[in-house]
Chain A
Amino acid sequence: MKGHANGGSAPAAWLAIAGLVLVVAVPFAAVVLQGIFPNLGQGSFSGPFSSFVATLNDSALIGMAGNTVLLGACVVLASALVAVPLGVFRALYRVPLAPLWDVLLLVPFMIPPYIATLGWIMTLQPRGYLQQVLGFNLAPFLFSLAGMTVVMAFNTFPVVYFAVSRTVEAVGARYADVGRVFGATPAKAFWRITLPLSAPGLAASLMLVFAAAIEEYGTPAALGRRAGFQVLVTGIDFRISDWPIDLPGASIMSLLLVGLSLVTFLGQRWILSRRSYQTVNGKPTAKDKRPLGAMKLPVVLAFAIVSFLATGVPLLSILATALSRTISGGLALDNMSLDNFALVFQNSAGALGALANSFSLGIGTALITGLIGVTAAYTVVKTKIRGRLAIDTLTIIPNALPGIVVAVGLILAWNMPWLPATPYNTPFILLLAYCCILLPQPMRYAAAAFQHIGDNLEAAARVFGASGVTAFRRILLPLVFPSLASAMLLVFALASRELVASVVIAPVGMQTIATFIWRQFEQGSIGLGMAMAFIAILITTLLPLLLLALLRRSGLVAE
Chain B
Amino acid sequence: MFKSLKSLTLGVVAATLLAGVAHADITVYTAGPQSLIDKMSEGFTKETGIKVNVFQATTGKVMARIEAEASNPVVDVLISASWDTATDFAKRGWLVSYTSPNAAKVPDFLKTDTAVAQGISALGIAWNTKSGTPKPSEWADLTKPEYKDMVNIPDPAQSGSSFELTAALAGQDDFKLFKDLQANGAIIAGANAEALNPVLQGAKAAVFGAVDYITLAAAKKGETVEVVFPASGTVIAPRPAMILNWSKNQDEAKKFIDYMLSDAGQKMVAAQMLMPARTDIPADRPLIGDLKLLKFDNAAVYGKRKETLGEITKIFGGK
Contact = CB atoms under 8 A, between A and B. Distances in A.
A509 B54 contact: yes
B71 A417 contact: yes
Contacts of B34: 349, 519, 523
A247 interface: yes
A380 B148 CA distance: 60
Interface string A126-151: 11100000000001000000000000
Contact of B203 (A125, A357, A367): A125
B24 interface: yes
Contacts of A504: 57, 61, 64-65, 68
A415 B72 contact: yes
A421 B214 CA distance: 41
Contacts of B54: 508-509
Interface in A293-335: 325-330
B1 A524 contact: no
B223 A416 contact: no
B193 A523 contact: yes
B199 to A, nearest CB: 9
B190 interface: yes
A247 to B, nearest CB: 6
A443 interface: no
Contacts of A226: 187-189
A243 B63 contact: yes
A242 interface: yes
A371 B6 CA distance: 10
A326 B22 CA distance: 38
Interface string B250-268: 0000000000000000000
A231 interface: no
Interface in B121-160: 128, 130, 155, 157-158
B189 A360 contact: no
B67 A503 contact: no
B60 interface: yes
Nearest to B194: A222
Interface string A495-509: 000000001111111
Given A228-B318, A473-B2, A360 B71 contact: no
A122 B201 contact: yes
B74 A243 contact: no
B183 to A, nearest CB: 17
A513 B22 CA distance: 21
Contacts of A473: 1-2
A428 B61 contact: no
Contact of A326 (B1, B68, B223): B223
Interface string A508-539: 11100000000101111010000000000000
B224 A328 contact: yes
Nearest to A364: B12
Interface string B50-84: 00011111111101110111111010000000101
A487 interface: no
B218 interface: yes
Interface string A105-127: 00000000000001001100111
Contacts of B59: 243
A231 to B, nearest CB: 12
B15 to A, nearest CB: 6
A42 B66 CA distance: 11
Most chain A CB within 10 A, of B68, B193, B203, is at: B68
A412 B68 contact: yes
A349 B39 CA distance: 10
A326 B64 contact: no
Interface in A347-365: 349, 357, 360-361, 363-364
Contact of A508 (B55, B71, B189, B215): B55
Given A426-B20, A427-B16, A428-B16, A522 B69 contact: no
A227 to B, nearest CB: 7
Most chain B CB within 10 A, of A126, A243, A370, is at: A243
A386 B213 CA distance: 61
B67 A326 contact: no
B8 interface: yes
Contacts, number: 186
A127 B65 contact: no
A376 to B, nearest CB: 16
Contacts of A238: 157
Contact of B33 (A126, A411, A523): A523
A370 B55 CA distance: 31
B64 to A, nearest CB: 5
Contacts of B84: 243
A327 B85 CA distance: 34
A126 to B, nearest CB: 4
Interface in B1-41: 1-2, 5, 8-9, 12-13, 15-17, 19-20, 22, 24, 27, 33-35, 38
B19 A427 contact: yes
B74 to A, nearest CB: 7
Given A506-B55, A508-B27, A367 B20 contact: no
Given A41-B68, A243-B84, A327 B197 contact: yes
A507 B73 CA distance: 13
A138 to B, nearest CB: 12
A240 interface: yes
B228 interface: no
A43 interface: yes
Contacts of B22: 509
A225 B16 contact: no
Given A411-B69, A523-B35, A327 B200 contact: yes
B269 interface: no
A245 B22 CA distance: 31
Nearest to B84: A243
A368 interface: yes
A225 B9 contact: no
A524 B218 contact: yes
Interface string A385-404: 00000000000000000001
A43 B225 CA distance: 49
Contacts of B88: 243-244
A328 B223 contact: yes
B203 A139 contact: yes
A408 interface: yes
A241 B31 CA distance: 12
Given A325-B222, A412-B68, A230 B318 contact: yes
B16 A416 contact: no
A477 B2 CA distance: 10
B319 interface: yes
Nearest to A124: B203
Interface in A543-559: 556
B202 interface: yes
B15 A360 contact: yes
B293 to A, nearest CB: 23
19 contacts: A122-B197, A226-B187, A227-B319, A228-B318, A228-B319, A243-B82, A247-B68, A327-B197, A328-B224, A328-B225, A349-B34, A371-B5, A411-B68, A416-B71, A417-B71, A503-B57, A504-B57, A521-B193, A523-B33
The 8 closest A-B pairs by CB, nearest first: A241-B60, A228-B319, A426-B20, A127-B202, A43-B71, A327-B200, A508-B53, A411-B68
Given A41-B68, A404-B64, A428-B16, 16 more contacts: A42-B70, A42-B71, A125-B203, A240-B61, A241-B64, A243-B85, A247-B68, A327-B197, A330-B201, A368-B9, A371-B5, A504-B57, A504-B61, A522-B193, A523-B33, A526-B200
